[in-house]
Amino acid sequence: MSNFLTTKWDVIIAGGGPAGFFAAIRCAELNPNLHVLIIEKASQTLGKVLISGGGRCNVTHACFDPAQLITFYPRGGVELRGAFTRFQPADTIKWFEERGVKLKAEPDGRMFPVTDSSETIANCLREAAKNAGVKVHTGTTLLQVEKNPKGGFKLEVRNEANVLPLQTKKLVIATGSDSKTREIVQSLGHSIEEPVPSLFTFNVNDKRIEGLAGVSVENVTLKMDSVTTRGPLLITHWGLSGPAVLRCSAWGARILFDKKYRSHLTVNWLGDYKLEATLEILQRNKEWTENARKKVATHPAFSQIPTRLWKQLAQFIGDKNWGDITKIEMRKLAEELTAGQFEIAGKGQFKEEFVTCGGVKLSEVDFKTMQSRKTNDLFFAGEVLNIDGITGGFNFQSSWTTGWLAGSELGNG
């Protein structure tokens, strides 16, 4: 302990998550003479890594074009554009491979360790930090930061019941979405975009989807306020989930927060089909003599809509055969298919990945170095910034990238 208190730290990193570890390892590897310390308030480091991706850790995404990669970030994409030209998923793969951890891509692009165990990632990071000479103190919470007039920082940390002073030349804040650290960040002259949840499912109580939990549609278009998203949709016991919904929650995070998670949702179950084109197909279906005596309810006109869902969407037509439906019914069905109106009645939890949007205002940070534009020698990395990605490994990727950039500057500086 005394060593920990008396050492003249070159770099202290607050937060032993993926961003903090990457910053620490990078700067210590670049400059082995630096005294680098991670302080972590929990009893163990890398807590979120361990529970991530359902215990498998979705480390990154197999998307190697920075211009395309940034489209997966509702907030932070613009700022990450340059950052990804310096450290992107291909570099993440290489970084882990060089340290003995192979990653594999799933068909949807998500990348996991071949062991399918998040412990592989946590162990690799801990080992790399140890090898680079990074010191780690768990159970140590950053409480306060004061800038020394002559440079460097005076920190106040809590370790068990004690409040202790620490000194460091440079400070990295990588405390994730921790609310208390935001006050510290504000005390250092930074503004905070108010944090609100991102990536959640929609609670929808509607007869048309009742009893259909588990039914999915491969490509829908959702419209909520000014937000439009596309992709697979999954019906759950409580409403709607799946990539299209999660994207909608991420891009609409602030709108939905302001509306207290109550809003209209328009669902195009046919993806990009327009009303008129849908009407034409329905009309052809009706005119097709073989169909005339088949029930509408049990004979969907579109193969992409599962029969159970079709039956409930077309419920208002009752027991009629295709040959007997009226023009008005056909239009109503086309409207139901291309612009079904639903009410979001609350937000559910997406268990695999929980993310908040909000954090340190991005214009106050230099994304070449991750250094504060407000306070010298202060750096930020990871989710403490107003950056968030959609599900699929993008959130870890922004932590690896921003941590690596901060570490590079600290190690070279």
Q: How far is the CB of 394 from ligand FAD (least distance, A)?
A: 6
Q: Which residues contact 332 (CB under 8 A, 6 or more apart)?
A: 316
Q: Which stretch binds ligand FAD (CB under 6 A): 4-12, 75-83, 170-178, 304-312?
A: 170-178
Amino acid type, 103: L
Residue 346 contacts ligand FAD per CB under 6 A: no
Q: How far is the CB of 132 from ligand FAD (least distance, A)?
A: 17
Query: What is the rounded CA–CA span in Å between residue 217 and residue 207?
Result: 17
Nearer to ligand FAD, 174 or 337 (CB): 174
Residue 231 contacts ligand FAD per CB under 6 A: no
Task: Tokens for 384, please give them.
Answer: 């403490």
Amino acid type, 212: L
Mapping DSSP to helix (H, G, I), strand (E, B) and coil, where does residue 157 land? strand
Q: How far is the CB of 263 from ligand FAD (least distance, A)?
A: 24
Q: How far is the CB of 289 from ligand FAD (least distance, A)?
A: 53
Q: How far is the CB of 28 from ligand FAD (least distance, A)?
A: 17
Q: Which stretch binds ligand FAD (CB under 6 A): 36-44, 62-70, 238-246, 338-346?
A: 36-44
Residue 15 contacts ligand FAD per CB under 6 A: yes
CB 21 within 8 A of CB 29: no
Residue 176 contacts ligand FAD per CB under 6 A: yes
Of positions 27, 142, 233, 246, contacts ligand FAD by CB under 6 A: 142
Cβ burial, residue 160 (10 Å; 0-12/13-18/19+): exposed
Query: What is the rounded CA–CA span in Å between residue 81 and residue 260?
Result: 32
Residue 178 contacts ligand FAD per CB under 6 A: yes
Nearer to ligand FAD, 168 or 395 (CB): 395
Give the torsion through C-alpha atoms of 15, 21, 24, 26, to 10 deg.
Answer: -150
Q: How far is CA 325 from CA 26, 277, 321, in A?
A: 68, 18, 7
Q: How far is the CB of 176 from ligand FAD (least distance, A)?
A: 2
Query: What is the rounded CA–CA span in Å between residue 170 and residue 177?
Result: 21
Nearer to ligand FAD, 61 or 208 (CB): 61
Nearer to ligand FAD, 201 or 312 (CB): 201
Checking 329-337 for CB contacts under 8 A at 24+ apart, the result is: 330/279, 330/282, 330/283, 330/286, 331/279, 333/282, 333/296, 334/275, 334/278, 334/279, 334/282, 335/275, 337/268, 337/269, 337/270, 337/273, 337/278, 337/302, 337/305, 337/313
Nearer to ligand FAD, 338 or 397 (CB): 397
Residue 20 contacts ligand FAD per CB under 6 A: yes
Residue 383 contacts ligand FAD per CB under 6 A: yes
Query: What is the rounded CA–CA span in Å between residue 57 and residue 42?
Result: 19
Q: Which stretch binds ligand FAD (CB under 6 A): 12-20, 77-85, 224-232, 329-337?
A: 12-20
Question: Considering only CA atoms, which of 234, 202, 200 is closest in space to residue 344?
Answer: 202
Q: Which stretch binds ligand FAD (CB under 6 A): 10-18, 148-156, 162-170, 338-346?
A: 10-18
Of positions 236, 268, 395, 408, contacts ligand FAD by CB under 6 A: 395
Site for ligand FAD in 39-98 (CB under 6 A): 39-42, 47-48, 51-53, 57-58
Chain centre to alpha carbon of residue 317: 41
CB 210 within 8 A of CB 235: no
Total interface residues for ligand FAD by CB under 6 A: 37
Residue ranges binding ligand FAD (CB under 6 A): 14-20, 39-42, 47-48, 51-53, 57-58, 141-142, 174-176, 178, 180-181, 352-355, 382-383, 393-396, 399
